[in-house]
Structure 1
């Protein structure tokens, strides 16, 4: 009986509570739409004004801390025993798709136009200088600081789950491990309810925006009316793919979907690069990267005290809070797929791999869009303001060779992208509501399928009720504020554990130990007892060192 595995069960109280909050929120937005819009505007102004400096500092210090950690001796610590479960390419693809939604394809063509019309760093709107910095700001908001926030949340949870062997794959479980507040207690449940609300809100926004873009482009191609029914059919079709992927599991589902969509996006970008204005795309991408790199500190800490601070509030602070809202879910998913990886690998793969991937795709798509704006082919800012971004995307894609065919390819990639992203979010949600998970264990297929259905119903309800999407966006952003405190608590726990477990071990012995565990898992290291300074394998290493010295 002692060797019997602990019982894994669904936390029904947490599931029912969070779902009740979600559907009450959607109903409230539908019934009191005008009042909710006004309240949302006030809440957004409050959140982004009062917390401007803390949010900017949090993002800026995240990149400094994660880079220092990666290149310290602690970066050599391996998460769990044995070799990595997934190839490096599949691994990076999976967590990139967990961290960005299909709506990034939408913003990939249009993001620069917003910064051209409302630029940062005190630049004049719609000026040559604003256009020059437009893609650079897009690179900044999708680059190192954003991915460092993900990495900061991920490494601490990975360490807790794989090295310390703390049970449970949820925010509440790591809060319990650090603070002692029970995961099933009031504090633990509050943390998980906030997380689930944030995940539902963020995914709903991504799903609705993708559905609207998809149906508009589909209407341009086929003449099918852009109605509620069309949107529901699209959402249901995506959900079937997502549900099947989630049900069959990580290896046959998410891994294959992520590989398909990432390869599809890269090939699509390569097509645009080759058959678009290649020289302009390459030149402006390089210049934009240079502008971002040389102005990185200014962009990171631009509070605009001499002005109205509107750009910082509405763009940089908003974006960082948006990334923070996704960070806990990404951390759960990254923890699941990162067994056998070192801290350095996780940080560099996220910060460098994630940034470079988005910079390549955004660089190609945005500069293709900028080029056609400069040469008068498509007035993207005007169309964006008057008709909607999906119309501008349709006109841009039609300029490519085999334009209509490429629009169909674009829609196909968008659907698979959304399904893969929903799969990652669905896993994080089902893992949060499953108690007692240990390393190598997943929520049951039935639990994952249940949450697939729930994650689909909310956006359909939003579209049907015509509830204001911007209000849901505000709710998600405001809910993200407590996650800053939660991530800081996680980070405190990580630093504390690293000092307790590895501060007295030389760098080369940490690397040697990680290498030996990769070659063989025979000597299992158990870190469950936080009061034991260093465990048997480490003690053996010390004895060997003493012998060598003597």
Structure 2
């Protein structure tokens, strides 16, 4: 008898929430966006510092965990399923999306023209902080938020042997069997709701950049039809990848995406303003480490510049809305790795991958503005960020070719992110899956089509700004859920650490016999053979 793997209860709740979100915005975009902005203002006013403290606490917890005795625990008794490069590529491309291709090259300009801490716009001091803040927002803090759910989820599946990669499963240490009931459903739906807001933000940023590139390269007029065409094309592309699954589809896509990304960065580093890139990046690292705690907790309660709300809180909300998804995805592909390896791989690998964009793409764009080669700030103010991004790329040697490759990487990043999100959503909205079993092919494709359909509906109703705002709103309950997961994990591992290590040492010695063990075994066989023969003769 064929197993039913579709969790109809979670699916119906999630689809109902999606309908409640999209239909009002589609009917009246202005009122829908205004309502969400009121909710957003209330959250940032009352809970803004919570996001900041939560992020800092999570970062500290991960550092402690990685270098404590618990960091040695291996998540499963098998070898890693993917090579380190493919593993990092999957995590990086799934978690970052085309946002890094968008903000990596232009974010400095916003901080340079509207700096924090009451600094003079366009000043030397503002120029020092401008490339640094992007590295901060996309650095260790961001990847700490991304990383923390992967630990309890992986522990629950590979150590506790629970068959599900859900958030509710990772909370079992605290909520117990209620994970199977209403409370568990609420936790899982909160994750799905948050992910929809995060994906909407990625599409809201990525689609206009691709549209500007097509307009610039081929002269196609920038219209709603062009935006819809881009989203539909991406939907077809990643639906094919979803059909082929994790190893054949997502792995190859992520590998080649990272190859292209690094290749473009290396080309710009060599043929761009190399000396300025190195000097500015070096200065930014110093500024970041000197001001890390101030940047992490900056709220500006007296000046009320709105800088923290517009940037840091927006980013932390975006990361929190994505975090359960990236955690589930990272947990699924991290079997056989240690807790320390999983933490450092994401914190260091993810951070350096993002810093590559800000160090090379961002500083190149900044150099062109300072040297008077490209009026980046003027283009940003008059034509928008996508036009300023393309103008910076066009000024490079072989600018036309680099521009096309850059847009290709941005498109693949965006497709990979939606791809991975659809895969994870189909996993959460499934049941009765065996260990290592993937959701049904049609179900994976269904979620990919659903995510992009939501974006198309909101794009048609001019509601993408509302969905971008929603990423911060939907992140609020996830902050509490993530701390619930941490508490559950700590309760598990502190009780079970000794027995886990004994079991893993036994597994290791059993799986990998030494030469001495083999020799002893052979001698034992030689001794036992005559004894067995003599016993047989006596019995006869």
Flag whether TM exceeds 0.5 (same fold). Answer: yes
Which one of 489, 495, 503 corresponds to residue 484 of structure 2? 489
Question: C-alpha separation between the residues in 2 aligned to 1:316 and 1:192?
Answer: 26
Q: Is the 8 A contact 2:149 2:323 kept in 1?
A: yes
Q: Is the 8 A contact 2:207 2:227 kept in 1?
A: yes
Q: What's 2:304 paired with?
A: 308
Q: Deviations over 1:87-138 (max 9, x none)?
A: 0010011011121121220111111111112222332333221111111111
Question: C-alpha separation between the residues in 1 aligned to 2:388 and 2:215?
Answer: 14
- Deviation of 1:404 (Å): 1.4
Which one of 399, 409, 416 corresponds to residue 413 of structure 1? 409
Which one of 42, 64, 68 corresponds to residue 68 of structure 1? 64
Which one of 81, 86, 89 corresponds to residue 77 of structure 2? 81
Q: What's 1:353 paired with?
A: 349
Question: C-alpha separation between the residues in 2 aligned to 1:255 and 1:98?
Answer: 11
Q: Is the 8 A contact 2:140 2:351 kept in 1?
A: yes
Question: C-alpha separation between the residues in 2 aligned to 1:518 and 1:225?
Answer: 62
- Deviation of 1:308 (Å): 1.3
Q: Is the 8 A contact 2:200 2:468 kept in 1?
A: no
Q: Secondary structure at the match of 1:493?
A: helix
How many correspondences in the alignment? 513
- Deviation of 1:50 (Å): 1.3
Question: C-alpha separation between the residues in 1 aligned to 2:509 and 2:304?
Answer: 57
Which one of 335, 338, 351 corresponds to residue 339 of structure 1? 335
Question: C-alpha separation between the residues in 1 aligned to 2:313 and 2:507?
Answer: 39
Moved runs in structure 1, 4+ residues, more than 6 A? none
- Deviation of 1:383 (Å): 2.0
Q: CA RMSD in A?
A: 2.0
Q: Deviations over 1:340-366 (max 9, x none)?
A: 000000000000110011111221010
Question: C-alpha separation between the residues in 1 aligned to 2:316 and 2:270?
Answer: 33
Question: C-alpha separation between the residues in 2 aligned to 1:464 and 1:181?
Answer: 43
- Deviation of 1:379 (Å): 2.5
TM-score, normalization by structure 2: 0.91
Q: Secondary structure at the match of 2:490?
A: helix
Mind listing any 5+ residue stretches in structure 2 that lack a counterpart? 514-540
Q: What's 2:371 paired with?
A: 375
Moved more, 34-43 or 173-182: 173-182
Q: Is the 8 A contact 1:76 1:514 kept in 2?
A: no
- Deviation of 1:323 (Å): 0.6
Q: Secondary structure at the match of 2:149?
A: helix
Mind listing any 5+ residue stretches in structure 1 that lack a counterpart? 521-550
Moved more, 258-267 or 115-124: 115-124
Q: Deviations over 1:445-478 (max 9, x none)?
A: 12111112111211111122222x2211222211
Q: What's 1:230 paired with?
A: 226
Question: C-alpha separation between the residues in 1 aligned to 2:361 and 2:387?
Answer: 15
- The structure with more radius of gyration: 2
Q: What's 1:478 paired with?
A: 473
Question: C-alpha separation between the residues in 2 aligned to 1:417 and 1:256?
Answer: 13
Question: C-alpha separation between the residues in 2 aligned to 1:437 and 1:158?
Answer: 16
Judging changes above 3 Å, is the alpha-carbon distance between structure 1 residues 517 and 262 closer, same or farther for their aligned structure 2 residues?
farther
Q: Deviations over 1:135-186 (max 9, x none)?
A: 1111111111111111211111111111111222211222345302534532
Which one of 82, 89, 94 corresponds to residue 98 of structure 1? 94
TM-score, normalization by structure 1: 0.89
Q: What's 1:146 paired with?
A: 142
Q: Is the 8 A contact 1:162 1:439 kept in 2?
A: no
